[in-house]
Structure 1
Amino acid sequence: MFHLIELVKLRNKEPFAYHFSSSNVELLKKHHNDIFERFSNYEISTHVLSTDYASWSSVIDMDPYFSNVKCIENIDEFGEFLSKETKISSSDICSYLLGKIGFSSDFKKMEKLLYFVYSDFLEMTHKSLFPQKFDAWQYGPVEPKSRYCRIRSDLPNINESIDKLLFSDNSNDIFSSLEKIIKIYGNKSTKELIDLTHKNGSPWQKNYVKGLNKRISDSDILKYHNVEKIGN
């Protein structure tokens, strides 16, 4: 019995693999091609073994290297799990920015740079960089999840976050936005960044009501982000 093992190893995470077994070599090739067509953007290593049985346990008996690998035997479930494990969050972008720039305990600067990266990516692609959204707080747009993670010193490891960025279907655009914002805004003071987001007609100004922390919609960012850019 032949075993096709499509293995994914992410830093600081349990390795997992799509497993398919058959005595038909051509069928194994078809499954391999299906995996690489559907998930061509991901770094997946292919292994083929032969055992007497079709079970995953026979693979482990044959090669203990796979004993700590999570086995997934449905291609759709594999895709869902792969997407979940590599989905970018606001905290991943903060982790990257912290690794590149620092800014110690300056939460407000982190929040503004995160907002500018998100806004630039949204303008470029008309896609949301991550599912979390921004609210209009007193000192500008804030994404609460990443703020609380930063307060608790619970941001992801930067290498783990870089893995996710590299695996993304939009990796080129993401890194383009990150490097652009770091270059233009990275050396600005917190006050300078707050002054930009507080400009009359900005997305923050359109939504801010003292004490309410109103949501800033993507449509408002697309309409009004140009107001708060440097030079405008």
Structure 2
Amino acid sequence: MPSVEDVAAYILAKDGPMSAMKLQKLCYFAYGYHLAWEDRQLFPERFEAWANGPVSYELYDQHRGRYQLNAGDVNGDPSLLDDGERESVTIVLDSMGVYSAHELSAMTHRAGPWVQARERAGAADLQRSNEELRDADIADFFGALVSQDDE
């Protein structure tokens, strides 16, 4: 199984450069859709319910203090993704890569796993939280989105 850094490196190689925030959100959407489509994790690292949306701390640790990221800026190996993982990430990039970091962040704030994690933590708007998003919530949310698309 690839790591979040491997997926991020794949995204940057395919669609970089981009802001760190956009990279985080694309990793989140890729994770969620992959979980719904393939019924398996895209990577083992968890997302936390930060004020600006879901964030993988492990990925954040790689880009801390940087706004713009280019291919090669994240220490990951895109070749570790299997065909199904690459396909999931590519579909997300093709459909969501056109959105800005702020638009992607806003999408995470409307409903779903990030909102549920913030509620569990009792975190107010813009308050810090490291509450983890649960795979069951992510699978339910993205599974419902995929079901709507199939109708």
TM-score bin (small chain): 0.7 to 0.9
Deviation at 1:184, TM superposition (A): 0.5
Deviation at 1:163, TM superposition (A): 2.4
Deviation at 1:151, TM superposition (A): 2.9
Aligned residue number for residue 173 of structure 1? 84
**Residue correspondences, number:** 135
Aligned residue number for residue 185 of structure 1? 96
Instruction: Output one character per residue of 1:85-117: Cα deviation in whole Å (capped at 9) or x when no partner.
Output: xx411001001111111134x111000000011
Compared with structure 1, are the counterparts of its residues 140 and 148 closer, same or farther at alpha carbon in structure 2 (3 Å cutoff)?
same
Structure 2 distance, partners of 1:228, 1:139, is 22
The 3-state SS of whatever aligns with 1:216 is coil
Structure number with the bigger relative contact order (C-alpha 8 A, sep ≥ 6) is: 2
Deviation at 1:227, TM superposition (A): 7.0
Counterparts of 1:51-90 in structure 2 under 5 Å?
87-90=1-4
The 3-state SS of whatever aligns with 1:128 is coil
Aligned residue number for residue 9 of structure 2? 95
Deviation at 1:162, TM superposition (A): 2.9
Which AA in structure 2 matches 1:217?
R
The 3-state SS of whatever aligns with 1:88 is coil
Which AA in structure 1 matches 2:80?
K
Gaps of 5+ in 1: 1-86, 166-170
TM-score, length-normalised on structure 2? 0.79
Aligned residue number for residue 31 of structure 1? none
Larger Rg: 1
Aligned residue number for residue 50 of structure 2? 137
Structure 2 distance, partners of 1:103, 1:138, is 24
Runs of 4+ in 1 over 6 A off after TM superposition: none
Deviation at 1:225, TM superposition (A): 3.0
Compared with structure 1, are the counterparts of its residues 227 and 192 closer, same or farther at alpha carbon in structure 2 (3 Å cutoff)?
farther
Which AA in structure 2 matches 1:93?
V
Gaps of 5+ in 2: 66-71
Aligned residue number for residue 75 of structure 2? 156
| RMSD (Å) for aligned C-alpha atoms | 2.3
Is the aligned partner of 1:127 residue 2:40? yes
- 2:36–2:143 contact (8 Å) kept in structure 1: no
Q: Which has the higher strand share?
A: 1
Structure 1 distance, partners of 2:14, 2:22, is 13
Structure 1 distance, partners of 2:34, 2:144, is 16
Moved more, 208-217 or 117-126: 208-217
Q: Which has the higher helix share?
A: 2
Percent of pairs identical after alignment?
27
Is the aligned partner of 1:204 residue 2:127? no
